[in-house]
Amino acid sequence: MTNPTRILLIDDDAVDRAAVRRALAKSGLAHTLAEASGGEEGLRLATTETFDCVLLDYRLPGIDTFALLRTLLAAEGQARAVLMLTGEADPDLATRLMRAGALDYLDKAEVTPSGLARAIRYAEARQAFQAELAASRREAEAKSLELDTLNRQKSLLFSIIAHDLRNPFQALLGLSEVLGKAVAARDPTSIERRAKGIHEAATQAYALLESLFSWASLQMDTMAVTLTDVDLAAVAAEVVHGAAEAAADKGLKLEASCGGIVVLAQRDMLTTVLRNLVGNAVKFTLPGGTISVSGHCDGDEVEISVTDTGVGMPSGKVDDLFRLDRRTTTNGTAGERGSGLGLLLCRDLVERQGGVLRVRSAVDRGTTFLFRLPVSGTVNAASPATAS
């Protein structure tokens, strides 16, 4: 059984309302009718109740009809059709009202049961078509945005392969050639220097490939992430231990203060995020600086942060850190190179666990990366880890 059309009639003239009421009664159209004798009452009814169609008198005292029309059409969650009723035969007015969003324009003197029913059915059908068209347009825009993101990701991968990945291999080829000549010349100093250069180039290429494969795999993986209880102190200690040698080489102090905190996370993802953030902090902190990994509970969440006393960044660069189309790389304080993929990987991994990666930074005042994860009910009394 077809649901009746819910109609709201807004007209200050009681005689005209009675005429519309009689026409609807004789039209055979299944309907319910609510009546309002003024714009304010009509707007109140339209706000508190749901209607499929509004019959709106053009000349209502004390109100701007065009403003009322816009309000009726703009109501959130409503897909109502609005038909204008008027005693004026003015084609220009009809055009203006239709452009303002009215779906039809009826002369009160010519309202008949069949004509009124036909106009309402037509308006409903047209409104449904417009709603479907708008939904299709939104879906197409979403698909276009998704394709645009995929294209940027593809361009990023090609850029890394064409430029970033080629550089260390060019260095490997050049250094290995020079190394061969140094061996033939029995020059131990040159051999040691070239061997160290080969090791550094190979390390850079491997780190880039690891980031590239991790990030690419993450983009293709659509499976849900299962969160489990993770001892944050243990993960932080593992990360601090792994970065201790690189930090010691630069004279940096590493600290971790996450004792007793257990979070709901994916352990490997959390470890990768903290490892990348700490490695990034080591890269951009001058000798004598400090890098801290900390966690503290805030209600039902844990805020996890990696803070350094490094060179910091201007606000413009902070805004572009997570943009695929503005990927930039900056050498570290000791000339360390990166691919620019590490932070993108961190952002995606944090989001896969339900968090948002944020950053605070100021030039010469250091940088803090932070995100929140759900706290677990499990308590671990592990002590803070420190390395220097």
Which residues are paired to 230 by β-bridges?
263
Q: Which pLDDT score is estimated for 289?
A: 94
Domains of the chain: 5-135 (3.40.50.2300), 165-223 (no CATH), 225-388 (3.30.565.10)
Q: What is the pairing mode between strands 290-298 and 301-308? A: antiparallel
How many helices (DSSP H) and strands (DSSP E) are in the chain? 11, 13
Query: Coil, strand or helix: which one is 171?
Result: helix
Query: Coil, strand or helix: which one is 181?
Result: helix
Q: Which pLDDT score is estimated for 349?
A: 85
pLDDT in tens, the chain (388 residues): 568 888 999 999 999 999 989 998 998 888 999 999 998 898 889 888 888 888 999 888 888 888 888 888 876 545 578 888 887 777 788 888 888 888 888 888 778 888 888 888 877 777 777 777 777 888 888 888 777 766 766 665 665 565 556 666 777 788 888 888 888 888 888 888 888 888 877 876 776 676 666 666 666 565 567 889 999 999 999 999 888 888 888 999 999 998 889 999 988 889 888 988 998 899 899 999 999 999 999 989 999 999 999 988 887 777 777 765 555 566 556 555 555 567 887 888 898 889 999 999 999 889 999 999 999 876 554 444 444 4
Q: Which pLDDT score is estimated for 331?
A: 52
Phi, psi of 310, deg, nearest 5: -80, -155
Whether the predicted model's global pTM rises above the 0.75 cut: no
DSSP state letters, 35-99? EESSHHHHHHHHHHS--SEEEEES--TTS-HHHHHHHHHH-TT---EEEEEES---HHHHHHHHH
Q: Find out whether 58 and 96 touch, Cβ atoms under 8 Å.
A: no
Beta-carbon-side half-sphere exposure of residue 334 (alpha carbons within 13 Å): 14
Q: Which pLDDT score is estimated for 117?
A: 83
Residues 160 and 207: their CA atoms lie apart, in Å, by: 13
| 365-382 tens-digit pLDDT | 899 999 999 998 765 544
